[in-house]
Amino acid sequence: MINEPKEDFKKQAIIIANHTSFLDIIAIGMLHPKIIFLVNDWVYNSPVFGKAIQLAGFYPVSSGIENGLEHLKKKVEQGYTLMAFPEGTRSKTHKIKRFHKGAFYLAEQFNLDIIPVLIHGNSEVIPKGESMIRDGHITLKILDRITPEDSRFSNNYSQRAKQIGAYFRTEFSAFRKEREGATYFHNILLDEYRYKGDTLYQNVKKDITTHKDIYKMVLNTVGKKSTIVHLSDDVGQLDFLLALDAVDRKIISYIENTEYRTLVKNSFIPNSRNITFADSIEATLPFKANALIISATNITEAQLKLMIQSDLNHLIFLKESKHLLATNTLDLGFDCTYQTENMTILSKQLK
């Protein structure tokens, strides 16, 4: 846990946090013994911990916030802090959804501070819809209190919900950059190949270990909402890393090896992310890519020129594909902005 403000929760407040796993309730509950959660029906009526939650005085939000004001006010007067997941339900990924207004309405009604808590790691350790707990780390970061008088945000609860939601996403994005190193998604990625043959598994493991830094550079270069075309002779490992890193990316991948292409089409990640596996280079052309990544070696100069479209901002050559730079791509409006032995990034020239 990271607690730079040295928060002790002695003064009543409303805690807000992002929500991806049932473990979030346990993690927040460990912060202080006097916390009342505003929970959905599935939690309130859970056969596992529903009775304990009911006895603890947790409040089911399906009954309506307005109908529970008296009950919650008494709890606050008894020294309890309220806790809400303003997204309203668990997200399947680390993407933070729109904040609902209930928590901010209560903060206004009871004149309470808001304490934002960032939860990192639960979306990878045990995401929504899965029962298997993966090896990983869960980290909580407590941010500074937002007082009712905080001039950074409107004094209207409806506007505060939007503004604090935007602030929360910004802080969480920065927190992800702190926590997620080059190997962060490797265990999840390798699970995709664990039962596809030991030789393939070991080859992927070796590749992502050897090239971890250039793959991380790709993740940092390509926009979180970009459309990406990737031409490769790999087994989809970079496509999966791009998708795990940012759920809003649209990835169109052409894998030269037909067997590998079929194999990755039947993996789990493509079913939960926006990944399309094309059966030819030509099939990728209708997509207006913002980034073109090439890690294949059998791309002709003519094919490469066809891929250079007006929406393209980044052209990335990985590993052996760098020999394609012997063509005249540098004359097509791109500057070399990053280069190592195994990677070259060309970015569109600014006009």
Instruction: List Cα–Cα distances, 196 to 40, 74, 212, 232, in angstroms.
Output: 39, 57, 21, 19
Which pLDDT value is given to residue 177? Answer: 95
Q: Is 57 left (phi over 0), alpha (psi -120 to 50) or beta?
A: left
* Maximum C-alpha span of the chain: 74
Instruction: List Cα–Cα distances, 41 to 36, 45, 63, 69, in angstroms.
Output: 15, 6, 9, 18
> What tokens does 19 get?
């929500």
Which pLDDT value is given to residue 350? Answer: 65
- CATH 3.40.1130.10 spans which residues of the chain? 13-179
Sorted by sequence, the CB contacts under 8 Å of residue 59 that are 6+ apart come out as 36, 37, 38, 39, 68, 71, 72
Which pLDDT value is given to residue 145? Answer: 98
**Fold topology of 13-179:** Glycerol-3-phosphate (1)-acyltransferase (3.40.1130)
CB half-sphere exposure, 40, CA atoms < 13 A: 10
Q: Which overall architecture, per CATH, does domain 186-348 show?
A: 3-Layer(aba) Sandwich (3.40)
pLDDT block averages, 10 residues each, the chain of length 351: 96 95 85 86 61 65 74 91 90 89 95 97 78 82 97 94 97 96 95 93 97 97 96 96 96 95 89 91 93 91 83 92 66 83 88 59
- CATH 3.40.50.150 spans which residues of the chain? 186-348
The 291-295 sheet, strands edge to edge = 275-278, 250-255, 227-232, 291-295, 314-318, 343-348, 334-340
**Residue 90 C-alpha from the chain's centroid:** 13
Which pLDDT value is given to residue 103? Answer: 94
